[in-house]
Amino acid sequence: MSTRITVNGEFRLVDAGPDTPLLYVLRNDLGLNGPKFGCGLGQCGACAAIVAGNLVRTCSTLLRDVGNDHVTTLEGLGSLENPHALQKAFIAEQAAQCGYCTNGIIMAAKILLDRNRNPDDEEIKDALAEHLCRCGVHNRVVRAVRRAAVELAR
Amino acid sequence: MTDPVLSRRRFAQGLGIVVATFAWTARSSIGQAPSNLPFSLRNNRKLAGWIRLKPDNSVVIFTGKAELGQGILTALAQIAAEELDVEFDKIQLISADTTHGPDEQYTFGSQSVEQSGAAIRAAGAEARAVLLVAAARRFGVAEAQLKVVAGSVVAPDGRRATYWQIASSEPKLLRREIAANVAPKRPADYRIVGQSIERIDLPAKLTGRASYVQDMRLPGMVFARVVRAPRDRAKLMALDDTAARSVPGLVAVIRDGNFLAVATEREEQAIAARNALASGARWSDDGISLPDTSNLAEELRQLRSETSVVGTAGQTEPVPPGAKRISAEYTRAYVSHGSIGPSCAVALLKNGHMTVWSHTQGAFPLRGDLAEVLGIQNTEVDVIHTPGSGCYGHNGADDVALDAALVARAVPGRPVKLQWMRDDEFAWAPLGPAMTTKVEAALTSEGRIVDWSYDVWSNSHAMRPGQTGGVNLLAAWDLKVPFAKSPPPRIPQPFGDGDRNAVPPYELPRKEIRNHLLLDTPIRNGSFRTLGAHGNVFAIESFMDELAEAAGLDPVAFRLAHLKDPRARAVIEAAAATAGWNAGAKGDGRRGRGFAYSRYKTIGMYAAVVVDVNIDRSSGIVRVARVVIAADIGSVVNPDGARNQLEGGIVQAVSVTLKEQVTFDRRQITSRDWAGYPILTFPEVPSIEVVLINRGDPSLGAGEGSLAPTSAALANAFAHATGHRLRLLPMTPERVKAALA
């Protein structure tokens, strides 16, 4: 049961049923590590990715609902060798401890900066209100998003 | 001491000789080690067990401590690079792996820099000295004439040899016992230690490189899930696995007593099979009765307990006449770890050897318990630490490792990845136990505390694998031939268990502190960051404010009047100065400010915290606007890393204090998702200022000491703002509204 999907700019054929949550397709069929299983309930945000320009919880998005929409994951933003401004900013601010939730936070910040090039702290916090972090790096995350906004505006 | 299994499990006789270190196990070799030997070297004496020079001109450092998200590997790499005089980026870290060691037992208690750091410092200094001696021979000059520049030994005439060249011509150079007789570098000469070097593991984690056990993919791997009872200690009465077996991709349904699991080819199939198997399982209704949460303190005090006096002074002296007696009672709820990623493990049984990749805090202790449950020798099991989601204590990591191993045993030759679902983690991982305390003190008219009486009731916070007298792994208790749970250990002061930090840090002429270790365990208990320190410091520091108020004295001045330790006084004065503490300032009903002080574990880091709150009286919502902490963690290896740990502890403490409680009815835990167990969110996080005081004293761990004083300062700020005191945590909107009504 092959399904076509476009992830990080590439067409891929995956051998997964249409009812498969996107998270498992990304992680297990495509070998991507960015989206993480956190709750499976759409509550924590660790699994977030961008589908058709919108932030989605991949644990509760079915493959059938993705269709021809383009999917972007953390890996699609940048790489170890060529990181995205957000990834660089998170490293510069050391805005992670365990880093497990950071995928969703960076993806949400990407959507925020796509829509608001110069968010203030309150706007950043509001954009991340549905993303849980347990290590307590929230203030560093806010600084990192601000830093990335400055970098992207250059 | 004849049976190796028993001796591994023997509770530390070594506590008597190890002043500043706590560990479970003692081996006979401990007593024979030189007394100046760093703790972690005592059982790991081989220099090459800590440091190897690789042919690619890098240095491999082995540590028994694990990266839990706290940045320990970076700090240890800094120490290694510093002592060896090699460039930081030449250092590679291999951590907590039973296939080679070292065995440093657990990564807990804010001891990693103290223990592994001290060991790597000594090993690094010794390796450098050994290489220098060899270079001196090679060049025919005295060692004193040589210098080391970035891993190269340079002679006065300009001849040079890299460490790797020296080691390749003398391959046995580092294969020696550590003598620990080489003086490490003077802190004044540090170039790398003390710098805020970026975490070595973050770039991979932030760009989606495989970093976590959850990211492991081995050829032929199957996915597994467990099915657990709806409530603790329920028994599996009947099982219809027809539906589960019809799930596509099913590889195995595993049943052993009350332990149930499924394995499938794909992950979503495992979840479907889990749900199908759960529907086909009928469980007994004889689970135990859980405490009535509306009367938690009394319910806890009624459990069977074992009482011991853990601190006493001046009991033969009478209390001065005329002193005013004041008492209060404080309680905190059961607390969940709430790691964002549920626990996960990968296990593989191949040719009779079980390998488990786990985010455990104790690879070696876990190996022992896995071997015992699986009925095989320790040497037939390996545990390799692989990072998981954030670890704040004894979560489900060890339990899921056994779950995965049990599934792997049923599908030999195929790697098994088993991740708990969110409700598995919330309902079954060990919790930070609820605690209740009673404190009474006598106060003179001049505002001196002349008597102090304190009682704490708590289950043990120390129920890890590797302890004596049983097996502390969830599935082990569910097997057809079950294993007994280990009894709680008796951990002496100053470390303590539920009584951690129960002895106040203040100068008290007369005091008695009693620990009531609860023996009945209605809710599964374990280690959550700080163990009992959180509940005790919340109580003691809340009560200090109550006493100050009764004496009509400023809370900061009142504390200073009862403290002599200059490091304690220094953090208190620094926090007050940084926050702009204004003695005599009054709360206005909505805004207030609170103070608290503690020294973690009595012998660990010092912290003083000022918290500013805003209270919405109509909704009952408490917002923390700002937190200032002054901390003395001794010599700081990585200042930004230390700040990150202190900040994280503060955020977690605000969350615990305002929001967190595991909820349950009389039968089972009911908080099984994030809606049922809310934590602090981005808009609710306060601004935080950290002041680090570094007087050059030995390093003290920074991972835990900021939590407890933050909770207490927050409670004090609420009381300061409103004139009402909340003595029951968490400070939920309902409780706030009730207090203000």
Distance CA B587, CA B578 (A): 19
Q: Distance from A154 to chain B by nearest Cα, in Å?
A: 22
Query: B20 near B34, Cβ under 8 Å?
Result: no
Query: B531 near B500, Cβ under 8 Å?
Result: yes
User: Tens of pLDDT along B104-146?
Assistant: 999 998 889 889 999 999 999 999 999 999 999 999 999 999 9
Same domain, A61 and A117: no
Q: Which residues pair with B52 in a beta bridge?
A: B60
Distance CA B582, CA A35 (A): 48
Domain boundary residue, one of A77, A110, A141: A77
Distance CA B229, CA B730 (A): 28
Distance CA B85, CA B461 (A): 41
Question: Which of B341, B390, B673 is closest, CB to CB, to A97?
Answer: B390
User: Tens of pLDDT along B140-178?
Assistant: 999 999 999 999 999 999 999 999 999 999 989 999 999
pLDDT at residue B675, as a whole number = 98
C-alpha distance across the termini of chain A, in Å: 46
Task: Give residue B204's identity as a one-letter amino acid code.
Answer: A
pLDDT at residue B36, as a whole number = 72
Domain boundary residue, one of A59, A77, A95: A77
Residue to mutate among A14, A50, A97, with most B CBs inside 10 A, is A97
Answer whether A7 touches B (CB < 8 Å).
no
- Decide if B375 is inside a domain: yes
Range of the domain at A55: 2-77
Q: What percent of chain B lies above the pLDDT cut of 70?
A: 95
Answer whether A106 touches B (CB < 8 Å).
yes
* DSSP summary character for residue A21: B
Contact A33 B70 (CB under 8 A): no
Same domain, B85 and B117: yes
pLDDT at residue B16, as a whole number = 28
Confidence of residue B288 (pLDDT cuts 50, 70, 90): confident
Same domain, A20 and A60: yes
Same domain, B414 and B537: no
Phi, psi of B641 (to 5 degrees): -65, -40
User: Tens of pLDDT along A123-153?
Assistant: 999 999 999 999 999 999 999 999 999 999 9
Query: A129 near B681, Cβ under 8 Å?
Result: yes
User: Tens of pLDDT along B398-423?
Assistant: 999 999 999 999 999 999 999 999 99
User: Tens of pLDDT along A73-127?
Assistant: 999 999 999 999 999 999 999 999 999 999 999 999 999 999 999 999 999 999 9
Same domain, A7 and A71: yes
Same domain, A8 and A73: yes
User: Phi/psi zone of residue B72: left (φ > 0), alpha (ψ -120 to 50 degrees), beta?
Assistant: alpha
- Give CA separation, A40 vs A37, B176, B420, in Å: 6, 51, 11
Residue A53 token pair: 């320009």
Query: A146 near A96, Cβ under 8 Å?
Result: no
User: Phi/psi zone of residue B723: left (φ > 0), alpha (ψ -120 to 50 degrees), beta?
Assistant: left
SS3 state at B210: coil
Query: B157 near B163, Cβ under 8 Å?
Result: no
Inform me whether the pLDDT recorded for B308 exceeds 60: yes
Same domain, B384 and B532: no
Same domain, A66 and A90: no
Q: Residue B71: its chain A contacts at CB < 8 A?
A: 97
Q: Residue B657: its chain A contacts at CB < 8 A?
A: none
Q: CA angle, B374 as apex, B368 and B375 as ends, to 5°?
A: 85
Inform me whether the pLDDT recorded for B15 exceeds 70: no
Question: Which of A40, A94, A128 is closest, CB to CB, to B421?
Answer: A40
C-alpha torsion sign, points B459, B475, B484, B469: negative
Domain boundary residue, one of A24, A47, A77: A77
Answer whether B212 touches A (CB < 8 Å).
yes
Q: Residue A78: its chain B contacts at CB < 8 A?
A: 207
Distance CA B273, CA B93 (A): 39
Number of domains present in the structure of chain A: 2
Same domain, A94 and A139: yes
SS3 state at B397: helix
User: Tens of pLDDT along B323-356?
Assistant: 999 999 999 999 999 999 999 999 999 999 999 9
Q: How many Cα atoms within 13 Å fall on the side-chain side of residue B657?
A: 33
Q: Is A93 exposed, middle or buried (0-12, 13-18, 19+ CB in 10 A)?
A: buried
- Decide if B467 is inside a domain: no
Distance CA B610, CA B592 (A): 11
Contact B647 A80 (CB under 8 A): no
Same domain, A112 and A53: no
pLDDT at residue B101, as a whole number = 86
Query: A80 near A110, Cβ under 8 Å?
Result: no
Give the B window 393-422 contacts with A, CB below 8 Å: 419, 421-422
Inform me whether the pLDDT recorded for B25 exceeds 50: no
Same domain, A102 and A68: no
Same domain, B440 and B377: no
Query: B95 near B200, Cβ under 8 Å?
Result: no
Same domain, B421 and B453: no
Give which of A141, A139, A146 is closest to A113, Cα–Cα: A146
pLDDT at residue B598, as a whole number = 98
Q: Is B424 exposed, middle or buried (0-12, 13-18, 19+ CB in 10 A)?
A: buried
Answer whether B685 touches A (CB < 8 Å).
yes
Distance CA B569, CA B562 (A): 10
Inform me whether the pLDDT recorded for B1 exceeds 90: no
Answer whether B219 touches A (CB < 8 Å).
no
C-alpha torsion sign, points B518, B520, B522, B524: positive
On average, the pLDDT of chain A sits at 97
Q: Is A31 exposed, middle or buried (0-12, 13-18, 19+ CB in 10 A)?
A: exposed
pLDDT at residue B35, as a whole number = 63
SS3 state at A51: strand
Give the A window 11-70 contacts with B, CB below 8 Å: 16, 20-21, 24, 27-28, 31-34, 36-41, 43-44, 46
pLDDT at residue B285, as a whole number = 87
The CATH number given to whatever domain includes residue A55 is 3.10.20.30
- Decide if B488 is inside a domain: no
Question: Which of A43, A100, A141 is closest, CB to CB, to B674?
Answer: A43
User: Tens of pLDDT along B583-639?
Assistant: 999 999 999 999 999 999 999 999 999 999 999 999 999 999 999 999 999 999 999
- Decide if B323 is inside a domain: no
Answer whether B215 touches A (CB < 8 Å).
yes
Q: Residue B204: its chain A contacts at CB < 8 A?
A: 80
Region A20-49 average pLDDT: 98
Answer whether B69 touches A (CB < 8 Å).
yes
Inform me whether the pLDDT recorded for B6 exceeds 60: no
Residue A45 token pair: 């945000």
Residue to mutate among A32, A103, A134, with most B CBs inside 10 A, is A134
- Decide if B154 is inside a domain: yes
Q: CA angle, B23 as apex, B424 and B434 as ends, to 5°?
A: 45
Q: Is B46 exposed, middle or buried (0-12, 13-18, 19+ CB in 10 A)?
A: middle
Query: Within a 10 A sphere around the Cβ of B474, how many other Cβ atoms?
Result: 23
Question: Which of A24, A41, A125 is closest, CB to CB, to B268?
Answer: A24
> Is residue B331 within a helix (H) or strand (E), and if so which, with residue range?
strand B324-332
Strands B51-54, B58-63: parallel, antiparallel or unpaired by DSSP? antiparallel
Inform me whether the pLDDT recorded for B8 exceeds 60: no
Phi, psi of B679 (to 5 degrees): -125, 170
Same domain, A100 and A55: no
Distance of CA B23 to the CA centre of its chain: 13
Q: Distance from B106 to chain A by nearest Cα, in Å?
A: 18
Range of the domain at B639: 435-462+497-740
> Looking up tokens 């595991």, which residue turns up?
B662
Domain boundary residue, one of B177, B204, B231: B204
Q: How many A-B residue pairs are in contact by the CB < 8 A criterion?
A: 178
Q: Which of A60-74, B15-29, B181-195 has the lowest mean pLDDT?
A: B15-29
Same domain, B713 and B568: yes
Report, in angstroms and rounded to the nearest whole number, the Rg of chain B calculated over CA atoms: 27
Task: Give residue B377's identity as a one-letter amino acid code.
Answer: Q
Contact A97 B69 (CB under 8 A): yes
Report, in angstroms and rounded to the nearest whole number, the Rg of chain A calculated over CA atoms: 15
Give the pTM: 0.95
Same domain, A62 and A118: no
Distance of CA B456 to the CA centre of its chain: 21
The CATH number given to whatever domain includes residue A100 is 1.10.150.120
Region B60-71 average pLDDT: 94
> Is residue B479 within a helix (H) or strand (E), and if so which, with residue range?
none
Same domain, B189 and B253: no
> Looking up tokens 């060896």, which residue turns up?
B84
Q: What is the ipTM of this complex?
A: 0.98
Same domain, A129 and A103: yes
C-alpha distance across the termini of chain B, in Å: 63
Contact B683 A140 (CB under 8 A): no
Same domain, B548 and B618: yes
Q: Distance from A124 to chain B by nearest Cα, in Å?
A: 9
Same domain, B355 and B260: yes
Confidence of residue B3 (pLDDT cuts 50, 70, 90): very low
Query: B526 near B430, Cβ under 8 Å?
Result: yes
Q: What percent of chain B lies above the pLDDT cut of 90?
A: 92
- Decide if B1 is inside a domain: no
Region B497-510 average pLDDT: 98
pLDDT at residue B4, as a whole number = 31
Q: Residue A137: its chain B contacts at CB < 8 A?
A: 644, 647-648, 651
Contact A99 B205 (CB under 8 A): yes
Inform me whether the pLDDT recorded for B31 exceeds 60: no
Number of domains present in the structure of chain B: 3
Same domain, B368 and B502: no
Same domain, B224 and B185: no
More confident residue, B7 or B237: B237
- Decide if B321 is inside a domain: no
For B231-386, where are the alpha helices, taking DSSP H only? 242-245, 267-279, 296-301, 363-374
User: Tens of pLDDT along B658-677?
Assistant: 999 999 999 999 999 999 99
- Decide if B362 is inside a domain: yes
pLDDT at residue B417, as a whole number = 98
The CATH number given to whatever domain includes residue B582 is 3.30.365.10
Same domain, A9 and A69: yes
Give which of B331, B328, B315 is closest to B512, Cα–Cα: B315
Residue B543 token pair: 């009560």
Answer whether A108 touches B (CB < 8 Å).
no
Phi, psi of B578 (to 5 degrees): -65, -40
Same domain, B242 and B353: yes
